[in-house]
């Protein structure tokens, strides 16, 4: 079964539901727009496929890395502000896609 977009009764946002490479997915797309939901569905399917082929280590997003960092080192206010800015920009980008050029353009 592949991922499909579904409207749940009584819910405003559309959902993505299905199975990719043995992983069951039932997530909110956080949007009621079908085009944006379709983009979310395609992106999520690609993430799961890539993770199943290359492994979890190679596809960790910045959001996962930030959570790990913040749990290990409670940051000062200015550090937290800088980390939040980077997180807003690179939230779902895999770490291996973030290089110095990407950081420079983000700033």
Q: Residue ranges per domain, the chain?
A: 4-56, 60-106
What does the block give as tokens for 47?
Answer: 């993430």
For residue 99, the model assigns a pLDDT of 82
Give the global pTM: 0.52
Residues linked to residue 96 through DSSP beta bridges, in sequence order: none
Residues of the chain with pLDDT under 70: 1, 54-59
Residue 90: exposure state from Cβ atoms within 10 A (0-12, 13-18, ≥19): buried
Q: pLDDT by residue (tens digit) across 95-106?
A: 778 888 888 887
In terms of phi and psi (left: phi > 0; alpha: psi -120 to 50; beta: otherwise), the region of 22 is left
Q: How far is CA 72 from CA 46, 68, 77, 95, in A?
A: 30, 6, 16, 18
């Amino acid at each position: 079964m592949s991922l499909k977009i579904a409207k749940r009764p009584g819910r405003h946002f559309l959902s993505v539901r299905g199975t990719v490479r043995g992983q069951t997915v039932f997530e909110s797309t956080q949007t009621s727009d079908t085009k944006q939901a379709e983009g979310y569905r395609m992106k999520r399917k690609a993430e799961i496929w890539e993770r199943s082929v290359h492994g979890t280590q190679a596809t960790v997003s910045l959001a996962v890395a930030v959570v790990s960092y913040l749990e290990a080192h409670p940051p000062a206010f200015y550090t937290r502000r800088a980390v939040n800015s980077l997180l807003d920009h690179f939230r779902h980008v895999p770490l291996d896609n973030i290089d110095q050029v990407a950081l420079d353009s983000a700033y």
